[in-house]
Structure 1
């Protein structure tokens, strides 16, 4: 009877695509935290599956680790998130949302590079050398409707936003204290010189974070 009860409580198996994605996500988290020498036992525990399940999806542990590393460079989630930003929102609000997306990706990619070394991710990065262009175009699409508010073309505004987002978010430059997205956008749109209405992007400007 106890075996019947335990069997009935066992979670239903995931569809193959979801199982593969769960293994990749768990492996990436472990690689970011501990490096590539994680064990299949650790991966299985993190993913909540039996260790043998891994080898029904991936031929070897190295194949799984490589898939996890490649997933960190997959541009699809970022482009999807950028496309989902409300175009009807004011330009500063749209840009803050975009920088939040860019910061998450920047932190993950550079943590991975620090963990594996540039050589360890060189092929993956090389195979995706056009990613900057795709991100730039997504930002141009986001900025374009407000082109009449800018003194430079949307593509140049997008380029500057990317540069600022990376520079102010890169762990080697900022450590554990990246500039908040709202400050990055304020720097892009307004600079750091005090001017009337400078608190428009700072509803909580009295909290003392990153004062200018």
Structure 2
């Protein structure tokens, strides 16, 4: 019988590792952590033995896949690439869409392998540093509009993160997240300067 599977041409070590991690992450998200190395090898288009020339154990590979899903570097790169010359609304919608994609992926991973397994590879220090980097990236996006806002850009960035998380979290939204445009509209209607005299504080 002729096999329908095809193995890819040999890849450089870094690319081979990345392909294994990506294939493992896709399988874990779809089926949970109990995927076999055979499934992973088939998905990556490599021989099963190739896995153990890159990773010592399957658990090490699964942990690397989880770490890749939690890595904030790609998201920070996307935020840095948002056009600073675009209107504030457009910049923030792009930012929220980036935040939502990552939030959705993380919670899919939590559903697949459990919160403890996701947290195992992430220290409190890592989370704190990541939060500061995300807040700074959002602040940089908002800064050019400072004169049109009644709050400091960093505070606007903090509120944007909170809204994006709360309005995307599957359990808080009943799996019906708000669109990025709605989240941005809700935020800006609260922070834009209003014409006329300031309203009295309650």
SS at match of 2:9: coil
Judge which range, 38-47 or 171-180, deviates more: 171-180
State yes or no: 1:101 paired with 2:93: no
SS at match of 1:125: coil
Whole-Å Cα distance in 1 between the matches of residues 7 and 126 of structure 2? 40
Residues 7 and 45 in structure 2, CA contact (< 8 A), matched pair in contact too: no
SS at match of 1:31: helix
State yes or no: 1:146 paired with 2:134: no
Match of 2:64 among 67, 76, 91: 67
Query: Which residue of structure 2 aligns with residue 6 of structure 1?
Result: none
Give structure 1 stretches of 5+ with no counterpart. Answer: 1-8, 192-212
Give structure 2 stretches of 5+ with no counterpart. Answer: 1-5, 191-202
Residues 7 and 46 in structure 2, CA contact (< 8 A), matched pair in contact too: no
Query: Which residue of structure 1 aligns with residue 10 of structure 2?
Result: 13
Residues 73 and 124 in structure 1, CA contact (< 8 A), matched pair in contact too: no
State yes or no: 1:164 paired with 2:135: no
Q: Deviations over 1:108-146 (max 9, x none)?
A: 112212222222122323252221111001100111111
Whole-Å Cα distance in 1 between the matches of residues 116 and 94 of structure 2? 32
Whole-Å Cα distance in 1 between the matches of residues 88 and 133 of structure 2? 20
Q: Deviations over 1:144-194 (max 9, x none)?
A: 111111110000000000001111111112243211111111111125xxx
Number of aligned residue pairs: give it: 184
TM-score, normalised via structure 2 length: 0.86
Query: Which residue of structure 1 aligns with residue 113 of structure 2?
Result: 116
Whole-Å Cα distance in 2 between the matches of residues 135 and 87 of structure 1? 16
TM-score, normalised via structure 1 length: 0.82
Query: Which residue of structure 2 aligns with residue 53 of structure 1?
Result: 50
Residues 78 and 102 in structure 1, CA contact (< 8 A), matched pair in contact too: yes
Whole-Å Cα distance in 1 between the matches of residues 8 and 32 of structure 2? 30
Note the aligned Cα RMSD (angstroms).
1.7
